[in-house]
Amino acid sequence: MTEMTTSGPESAAVPPAVAPAHKRSVRVWQAIFVLILLGFVALLAARLIQTNESEQRASGEAPPFTFTTFEGETISLADLKGQGVVLNFWASWCDPCRDEAELLEATWRREQGNGIVFLGLDYLDQEPAAKAYLAEFDVTYPSGPDLQSAAARRYGIKGVPETFFIDPQGNIQDIVIGPIVGQGRMDELLDKIRP
């Protein structure tokens, strides 16, 4: 019995009727893949835009918040209506925060009987380091951790230090990104929130 073998280019060729159907199938799958990829990119872009819009810095009415100081006192922004509020986000690891720490404390001591309240919210920090920072700069105004960055998210901060100046009606009058340098600049900002 003789075995028939075929070899050469004819044995590997796809019949002519099958080739166009195969090419059409490949093109359909390529198109589906591209559409899925484009859909994913569009969804990702929409989500990024939505995130950027939702994380803008607060303006207008100051978002409400409540926090507990390192000494255990609970403070709510709502309880401070009628007073000017200087809300400072800081951290012990933040070098620019150190540049303004003495000015904030000195101004607090000068203004605390004049209807101005200073509040410090410690951002993404460890409690022992935060307490050491407060002791180093002899900070006496109410300060505490911003647990789970709840206030930072509401205020849309991007880093520290950031300071919000809130008037007696509860509206944000100014925001300083970075350290406040100079008593003159501080006094200009305080004049916007005096009762």
**Where do we find the tokens 């309880």?**
79
Same domain for 28 and 77?
no
Handedness of CA 94, 156, 152, 175 (dihedral sign): positive
> pLDDT, tens digit, for every residue of 21-58?
667 777 888 888 888 877 777 776 666 655 444 457 77
- pTM: predicted TM-score of the whole model, two decimal places: 0.72
| Contact criterion met (CB below 8 Å) for 87 and 164 | yes
Is position 2 within any domain?
A: no
Separation of alpha carbons 11 and 68, rounded Å: 81
pLDDT of the residue at 55: 52
First to last CA, the chain: 112
Separation of alpha carbons 90 and 121, rounded Å: 6
Same domain for 182 and 104?
yes
Is position 97 within any domain?
A: yes
Residue among 178, 182, 184 at smallest CA distance from 160? 178
Is position 118 within any domain?
A: yes
Same domain for 94 and 41?
no
Neighbouring-strand partners of residue 144: 121
Residue among 76, 97, 32 at smallest CA distance from 170? 76
pLDDT of the residue at 40: 72
Q: Domain tally for the chain?
A: 2
- Tell me 71's DSSP state: T
More confident residue, 7 or 158: 158
Residue among 152, 142, 145 at smallest CA distance from 108? 142
> pLDDT, tens digit, for every residue of 52-94?
444 577 789 999 999 999 999 999 999 999 999 999 999 999 9
pLDDT of the residue at 33: 80
Is position 9 within any domain?
A: no
Same domain for 44 and 69?
no
Looking at residue 137, which CATH number applies to its domain?
Answer: 3.40.30.10
pLDDT of the residue at 54: 43
Q: Once rounded to an integer, what is the mean pLDDT over residues 162-178? A: 97
Same domain for 120 and 36?
no
Is position 36 within any domain?
A: yes
Same domain for 111 and 47?
no
Supply the range of the domain harboring residue 37: 15-54
Same domain for 85 and 178?
yes
Same domain for 91 and 143?
yes
Same domain for 181 and 110?
yes
Contacts of 22 (CB under 8 A, 6+ apart): 14
Sheet of 171-177, strand order: 60-61, 171-177, 162-166, 84-90, 116-122, 143-145
Is position 74 within any domain?
A: yes
**Tokens at residue 87, please?**
């809300």
Same domain for 74 and 44?
no
Same domain for 27 and 88?
no
Is position 135 within any domain?
A: yes
Same domain for 26 and 79?
no
Q: Which of 39, 54, 69 is the last residue of a domain?
A: 54
Is position 153 within any domain?
A: yes
* Residue 187 confidence class, pLDDT cut points 50, 70, 90: very high
